[in-house]
């Protein structure tokens, strides 16, 4: 691990996008409607992209209990019958998508169930959901089929059922193993139960397990989080996602239950991050970028070494850059040069689909400038390198003239040791990978006004 000075950490302790897309979702507009998405889907089915692989994301918003830190789109309920109604409407939405996309043209190489808590659904519900998916879409042989798992809602029998349905990757929401922290965020799940589930998942033949962690939660300390890091590393998940907690109670009502005085200081957060980076690297993990780690033999680590990383709304992926169809309330699709987000409330989502309309609430048709900047930002985020010739040929521009101001701004980052300006290329250094969001922000035209930044999480 390269040495990271406290001064550099402090300077980059600012808000910024995670760049699961560019432009980011806060730039979507309501003038983009379902008709625009239909047009994008139709163009895809009629064009060369029709045979390209497709990615699917299904959002399941329900949770049995509220985690105070959560900023996801969720519905807290113990009425599991609500899942049945939701699956009926989901099936109808898939039929609407298929009508524009065409059946059988594209194979799905990646399917991800997120939430909320997808494991809120019963075994019968999950069977029904997968039946709907395979009715309208063709899963490719060897497709990556993953699901987010709340360890409190699954047993060995449930894991076996997921495996039988074809799921081959699991993501466990852990956040922290310290009992005081778990109590403070209203999410009690002992280390022993998670360890047992992970062992059972391996025995059942799941190809990969991921663990999500959050630093900066109430009652956390550098010492307590160091223990959690050691415990997680000892479990040897194939992948680890390490997120900094973004405390935005003015935006997320659930976070108002967290007292400001219980939060660790900025200095403690930086210590947690530094210790976690050292800890996971010391246990043999590869740093992928953007708070993600993987064991060296994991496909994600292999893809990084070979320059084949990609990025979508679910984060880093080994799948080729492909269109993404988002299904369910609040889901986001990316089709060609268009982004579309579904209605964020259940009533609006249900009303649209039942009226025979795709439930698009807002979106964006990307401009030529958006496409150029997306290519540069994604090259930085995924390969850590921007080849000028590739961008220039793909978008018919001159990098030196088009990005004259941005290239000048990179000079300071080069002095900081984050990148190297080569003739015809920008290359991140090993140190620069830890600040890749900050480097990418230089090329974000929408971030020129500082007032827009506070809507994002801290970049470290």
Taking 60 as the threshold, does the pLDDT of residue 137 lie above it?
Answer: yes
Provide the CATH number for the domain around residue 12: 1.10.10.920
Taking 60 as the threshold, does the pLDDT of residue 449 lie above it?
Answer: no
Instruction: Print the domain residue range for 411.
Output: 1-23+368-460
For residues 314 and 392, membership in a common domain is answered with: no
The domain boundary, picked from 269, 303, 325, lies at 325
Confidence of residue 61 (pLDDT cuts 50, 70, 90): very high
For residues 92 and 183, membership in a common domain is answered with: yes
Most confidently predicted of 218-222, 319-323, 435-439: 218-222
Residue the block writes with tokens 């974000």: 444
For residues 278 and 319, membership in a common domain is answered with: yes
For residues 19 and 29, membership in a common domain is answered with: no
Summarize the confidence of residues 277-285 as an average pLDDT. Answer: 94
Confidence of residue 417 (pLDDT cuts 50, 70, 90): very high
Which pLDDT score, from 0 to 100, does residue 322 have?
Answer: 84
Which pLDDT score, from 0 to 100, does residue 1 have?
Answer: 61
Q: Would you state the structure tokens that stand for residue 76, as one six-digit string?
A: 């807290």
Please tell me whether residue 211 adopts helix, strand or coil conformation: strand
Which pLDDT score, from 0 to 100, does residue 14 have?
Answer: 77
For residues 125 and 151, membership in a common domain is answered with: yes
For residues 11 and 36, membership in a common domain is answered with: no
Number of domains in the chain: 2
Which pLDDT score, from 0 to 100, does residue 11 have?
Answer: 81
The pair phi, psi for residue 186, each rounded to 5°, is 65, 50
For residues 277 and 384, membership in a common domain is answered with: no
Q: From 83, 74, 93, select the one nearest 133 (Cα to Cα).
A: 93
Which pLDDT score, from 0 to 100, does residue 289 have?
Answer: 80
* 12-26, 143-157, 359-373, 431-445: least confident range: 12-26
The pair phi, psi for residue 207, each rounded to 5°, is -75, -25
Contact residues for 149 (Cβ-Cβ < 8 A; gap 6+): 118, 119, 170, 171, 172, 173, 197
* 20-34, 99-113, 188-202, 345-359: least confident range: 99-113
Pairwise CA distance, residues 50 & 102, whole Å: 9
363 lies in some domain: no
Provide the CATH number for the domain around residue 192: 3.80.30.20
Residue the block writes with tokens 């080994």: 318
For residues 16 and 37, membership in a common domain is answered with: no
459 lies in some domain: yes
Q: Would you state the structure tokens that stand for residue 201, as one six-digit string?
A: 């998942």
350 lies in some domain: no
Confidence of residue 51 (pLDDT cuts 50, 70, 90): confident
The domain boundary, picked from 325, 356, 387, lies at 325
Which pLDDT score, from 0 to 100, does residue 48 have?
Answer: 60
Which pLDDT score, from 0 to 100, does residue 455 have?
Answer: 59
Which pLDDT score, from 0 to 100, does residue 78 have?
Answer: 93
Spatial contact of 314 and 300, defined as CB atoms under 8 Å apart: no
For residues 234 and 216, membership in a common domain is answered with: yes
For residues 312 and 439, membership in a common domain is answered with: no
Confidence of residue 329 (pLDDT cuts 50, 70, 90): very high
Which pLDDT score, from 0 to 100, does residue 4 have?
Answer: 75
Confidence of residue 312 (pLDDT cuts 50, 70, 90): confident
Summarize the confidence of residues 246-272 as an average pLDDT. Answer: 89
180 lies in some domain: yes
Question: Which percentage of the chain shows pLDDT scores above 70?
Answer: 95
Q: Residue 363, exposed/middle/buried by CB under 10 A (0-12, 13-18, 19+)?
A: buried
Which pLDDT score, from 0 to 100, does residue 172 have?
Answer: 96
- Rounded to the nearest integer, the mean pLDDT of the chain is 91
Taking 60 as the threshold, does the pLDDT of residue 284 lie above it?
Answer: yes
The domain boundary, picked from 325, 355, 388, lies at 325
359 lies in some domain: no
Spatial contact of 102 and 47, defined as CB atoms under 8 Å apart: no
Pairwise CA distance, residues 190 & 187, whole Å: 10
Summarize the confidence of residues 368-391 as an average pLDDT. Answer: 94
Taking 90 as the threshold, does the pLDDT of residue 76 lie above it?
Answer: yes
Q: Would you state the structure tokens that stand for residue 62, as one six-digit string?
A: 């329900």
93 lies in some domain: yes
Which pLDDT score, from 0 to 100, does residue 273 have?
Answer: 86
* 186-195, 231-240, 379-388, 440-449: least confident range: 440-449
351 lies in some domain: no
Taking 90 as the threshold, does the pLDDT of residue 402 lie above it?
Answer: yes
Q: From 281, 313, 319, select the one nearest 430 (Cα to Cα).
A: 281
pTM of the prediction? 0.91
For residues 101 and 249, membership in a common domain is answered with: yes
Taking 60 as the threshold, does the pLDDT of residue 452 lie above it?
Answer: no
For residues 257 and 380, membership in a common domain is answered with: no
Most confidently predicted of 8-17, 34-43, 286-295: 34-43
């Amino acid at each position: 691990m390269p040495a990271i000075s406290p001064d550099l950490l402090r300077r980059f302790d600012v808000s910024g996008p995670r760049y699961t897309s560019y432009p980011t979702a806060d730039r979507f507009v309501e003038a983009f409607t379902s008709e625009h998405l239909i047009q994008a889907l139709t163009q895809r089915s009629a064009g060369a992209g029709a045979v390209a692989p497709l990615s699917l994301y299904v959002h399941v918003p329900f949770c049995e209990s509220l985690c105070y830190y959560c900023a996801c789109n969720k519905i807290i309920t113990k009425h599991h019958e609500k899942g049945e109604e939701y699956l009926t409407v989901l099936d109808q939405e898939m039929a609407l998508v298929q009508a524009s996309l065409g059946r059988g043209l594209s194979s799905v190489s990646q399917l991800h169930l997120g939430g909320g808590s997808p494991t809120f659904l019963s075994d019968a519900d999950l069977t029904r959901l997968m039946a709907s998916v395979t009715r309208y879409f063709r899963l490719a042989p060897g497709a990556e089929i993953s699901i987010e798992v709340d360890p409190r809602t699954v047993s060995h029998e449930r894991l076996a059922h997921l495996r039988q349905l074809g799921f081959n990757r699991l993501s466990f929401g852990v956040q922290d193993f310290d009992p005081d922290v778990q109590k403070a965020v209203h999410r009690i799940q002992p280390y022993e139960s998670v360890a047992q589930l992970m062992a059972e998942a391996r025995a059942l033949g799941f190809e990969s397990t991921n663990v999500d962690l959050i630093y900066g939660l109430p009652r956390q300390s550098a010492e307590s989080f160091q223990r959690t890091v050691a415990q997680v590393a000892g479990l040897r998940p194939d992948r680890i996602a390490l997120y900094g907690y973004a405390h935005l109670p003015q935006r997320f009502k659930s976070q108002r239950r967290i007292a400001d005085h219980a939060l660790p200081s900025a200095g403690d957060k930086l210590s947690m991050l530094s210790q976690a980076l050292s800890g996971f690297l010391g246990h043999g993990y590869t740093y992928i970028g953007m708070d993600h780690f993987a064991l060296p033999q994991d496909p994600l680590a292999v893809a990084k070494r070979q320059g084949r990383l990609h990025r979508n709304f679910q984060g880093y992926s080994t799948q080729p850059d492909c269109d993404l169809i988002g299904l369910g309330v609040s889901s986001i699709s990316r089709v060609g040069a268009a982004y579309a987000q579904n209605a964020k409330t259940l009533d609006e989502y249900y009303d649209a689909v039942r009226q025979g309309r795709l439930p698009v609430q807002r979106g964006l048709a990307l401009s030529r400038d958006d496409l150029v900047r997306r290519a540069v930002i994604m090259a930085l985020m995924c390969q850590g390198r921007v080849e000028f010739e590739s961008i220039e040929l793909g978008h018919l521009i001159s990098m030196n003239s088009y990005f004259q101001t941005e290239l000048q701004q990179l000079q300071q980052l080069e002095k900081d040791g984050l990148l190297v300006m080569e003739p015809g290329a920008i290359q991140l250094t090993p140190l620069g990978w830890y600040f890749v969001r900050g480097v990418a922000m230089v090329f974000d035209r929408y971030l020129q006004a500082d007032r827009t930044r506070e809507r994002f999480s801290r970049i470290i």
